[in-house]
Amino acid sequence: MAVARRCGRDRRGERFCGRGGLSALGLLGILFGLSGDAKQQTPAEVMRQRMAQADRDAWAWTHDPLTGKPREVAGGAGIMTDAVGPMTGAEADRTIGAIGRPGDSPPHRVVDTPEHVVQAWRELSRGGRATADSTPDRIAVVLPDGTRVQYRRDSKSGGPVVEVQRDGVKPVKVHMPKGSDPHDLPNDAHPEGYG
One domain, residues 93 and 151:
yes
pLDDT at 17: 63
Task: Decide if 27 is inside a domain.
Answer: yes
pLDDT at 44: 85
pTM, entire model: 0.58
Q: Does pLDDT of 1 surpass 60?
A: no
One domain, residues 67 and 15:
no
One domain, residues 53 and 113:
no
Task: Decide if 97 is inside a domain.
Answer: yes
One domain, residues 29 and 91:
no
One domain, residues 86 and 170:
yes
pLDDT at 76: 45
Q: How far, in whole angstroms, is CA 29 from its chain's centroid?
A: 33
Task: Decide if 166 is inside a domain.
Answer: yes
Beta bridge partners of 73: 80
Beta bridge partners of 142: 129, 148
Task: Decide if 76 is inside a domain.
Answer: no
Task: Decide if 194 is inside a domain.
Answer: no
One domain, residues 164 and 93:
yes
One domain, residues 108 and 173:
yes
Mean pLDDT taken over the chain = 80
**Cα distance between residue 176 and residue 160, in whole Å:** 7
The terminus-to-terminus CA distance of the chain in angstroms comes to: 78
| CA separation, residue 128 to residues 81, 86, 112, 174 (Å) | 10, 7, 25, 18
Task: Decide if 195 is inside a domain.
Answer: no
Choose the most confident range, by mean pLDDT, from 55-64, 65-74, 137-146.
Answer: 137-146
One domain, residues 180 and 125:
yes
Torsion of CA 107, 145, 162, 194, to 10 degrees: 180
Q: What does the angle CA 194 – CA 93 – CA 171 come to, to the nearest 5 degrees?
A: 70
Question: Using 50, 70 and 90 to split pLDDT, how confident is the model at 111?
Answer: very high
Q: Does pLDDT of 51 surpass 80?
A: yes
pLDDT at 147: 95
Query: 63-100: buried (b, 16+ CB within 10 Å) or exposed (e) per residue?
Result: eeeeeeeeeebbbbbebbbeeeebbbbebbbebbeebb
**Cα distance between residue 118 and residue 175, in whole Å:** 10
In which domain, by residue range, is 46 found? 41-71
Count each helix (H run) and each strand (E run) in the chain, helices first: 5, 9
Q: Does pLDDT of 113 surpass 70?
A: yes
Domain count, the chain: 3
**Cα distance between residue 143 and residue 90, in whole Å:** 11
One domain, residues 96 and 166:
yes
One domain, residues 7 and 87:
no
One domain, residues 128 and 180:
yes
Can you tell me the mean pLDDT for 125-140? 94
Q: Do residues 125 and 74 make contact, with C-beta atoms less than 8 angstroms apart?
A: yes
One domain, residues 119 and 140:
yes
| CA separation, residue 116 to residues 7, 32, 176, 183 (Å) | 66, 43, 9, 11
Residue 179 phi/psi, 5-degree rounding, is 85, 5
Per-residue pLDDT tens over the stretch 74-89:
444 444 444 567 889 8
